Structure 1
Amino acid sequence: MEQQGLLKSWNDDKGFGFIQPQHGGAQVFAHISAMRGDRRPVSGDRVLYIASQDGQGRLRAEHVRVAGGLALDQPAIRVKPRSAPSPADGANPNKAPRKRASSGPIQYLGLKLTLFAGLCSLPLLGSVQLLGWGFMWPLLAYASVSSISFMQYWQDKRSALCGRWRTPENAMHLVELLGGWPGALLAQQCFRHKTRKVTYQLLFWAIVVVHQVFWLDWLLLDGANFGDVLRALMPR
């Protein structure tokens, strides 16, 4: 059944937004591929749509059209027109196109690998020490949770490119805090994802520092300050 709502937000560059239903309730995801009519939508439009669910049970709008009358469907509206080149670029036809930041090899690869190895050294030493005492789970936890974090970044990058639902940042940070930050750090560089968002990076590096301080305390001070957290997880 067709419903009415308000297009609360719309990202025309990425071709998606969210509809607030007229009678309240959760906002409904809308993608440009579901848009019908003779123009692209803008934030604040009153729209008509059919509510459905995606494969994961999340609300999604189908057959979206701007309210206020019927219009012939123009398929071209579902393809964002390319912006015209700036005068500076157009004046020089021989100018090489600027490469996208998300493509190409990782810059300063050697330096970044050295930094990664250094950051992993304390957790690795601590986990190996515990392995010698018969506790394998810290080493397995870092490996498995890092794999989960890496896949989160991969999925979120794909969703960003395709205009689909994104992974909540809080969920990504929680996995990083639980030991997934090495996988997250690798994924950030492999996929060029979340590297320029300052607020995200500040919290990410705070999580990395927490892990470094914890293992420094464990290895050098025998866990005098934070060791009880780890001891509580050890079977007696």
Structure 2
Amino acid sequence: MEQGGKLVNWNDAKGFGFIQPDDGSDRVFAHISVMRGDARPVAGMAVRFVGARDAQGRLRAEHMRGTGLALDRPAIRRKPQAARGSNGKTSTKPAPRRQAAPSRPAQPVRHAGLKLGILALLCALPLAGSLQLLRDHGQIWWLLAYGFVSAVSFRLYQVDKRSAETGRWRTTENTLHITELLGGWPGALVAQQVFRHKTRKVSFQVVFWLIVGLHQLVWLDRLVLGGRLTGGLLPF
């Protein structure tokens, strides 16, 4: 289905760029070959596009056009001719490099105290369960796993946020969710607030909070119900 967006990054020499959808979801890769209309794309233009995922799960546009009505000119999809100098020869001087848009200055986390309290409450059950396993069975790796994978998850969010701002290839959502499922959800929750990343995409947040809820359920069963729900399914 066609949706609206803005071409926030465009490299005309290479014929590709990135669309920021109007709904605030992840940026979409666009190639000149999918452009339809009577003029080449430029950074900042409003577009209509049809998005899909490629074989690697990356978002890309299958069709893109300007917002107005225009006849399609196939010539716009051809590589631009090199500029010629006054002597009629092709100039070998490289085109000036387009600088990446500057990163937005870091903003303080809103309602930081409340959010830290929520994080502490969510970590209470996993922490209590991990400490119980350490005390009763000497299994310290649960504590280490939560700490290590949370650090990895935080870093993945940081890299993905930077890639979104500079128009580079993104970390897939499946990768982010896998690290969250493996115990990195505390780091992911902190990263979402620190970098203000993935907080407005409803479908992503639904999966994220299902993962958090699953972890809470597992530890609640372990601590309160004696493992009656998950007995035999987990290695403790």
- Please tell me the TM-score bracket, short chain as reference: 0.5 to 0.7
| Corresponding residue to 1:145 among 140, 143, 149 | 149
Q: Distance in 1 between matches of 2:82 and 2:9?
A: 24
Shift of 1:80: 9.8
Q: Which runs of 5+ in 1 are unaligned?
A: 1-9, 19-27, 32-37, 45-64, 82-99
Distance 2:79 2:111 in 1: 55
* Distance of 1:80 and 1:143 partners within structure 2: 34
Q: Residues 83-102 of structure 1: matches in 2 within 5 Å? A: none
The answer for the alignment partner of 1:12 in structure 2 is 7
Partner of 1:218: 222
**Aligned CA distance change for structure 1 residues 180 and 115 (closer, same or farther; 3 Å):** same
**Residue identity opposite 1:223 in structure 2:** G
What is the alpha-carbon root mean square deviation over aligned residues?
A: 3.5
Query: Structure 1 CA distance, aligned partners of 2:219 and 2:198?
Result: 26
* C-alpha contact 2:100 2:166 (8 A) present in aligned 1: no
What SS class does the counterpart of residue 228 from structure 1 fall into?
coil
Aligned length: 169
Q: Residues 80 and 225 (structure 1 numbering): CA distance in 2 closer, same or farther, change over 3 Å? A: closer
Quick check: 1:129 aligned with 2:140?
no
Q: Which residue of 2 aligns with 1:163?
A: 167
Select between 222-231 and 152-161 the one with higher mean Cα deviation: 222-231
Residue 117 of structure 2 is matched in structure 1 by 114
Query: What amino acid is aligned across from residue 13 of structure 1 in structure 2?
Result: V
Check the 8 A contact 1:40/1:77 in 2, yes or no: no
Distance 1:136 1:80 in 2: 44
- The alpha-carbon deviation at position 228 of structure 1 amounts to 1.9
Q: Describe the shift of the 1:14–1:196 C-alpha distance in structure 2 as closer, same or farther (beyond 3 A).
A: farther
Provide TM-score, normalisation by structure 2.
Answer: 0.62
Structure 2: segments with no counterpart, 5+ residues: 11-16, 20-28, 33-38, 49-75, 85-93
Q: CA separation of 1:163/1:68 partners in 2, compared to 1, >3 Å: closer, same or farther?
A: closer
**Amino acid paired to 1:67:** R
Q: 1:124 to 1:17 in 2, by over 3 A?
A: same
CA distance in 2, matches of 1:151, 1:14: 24
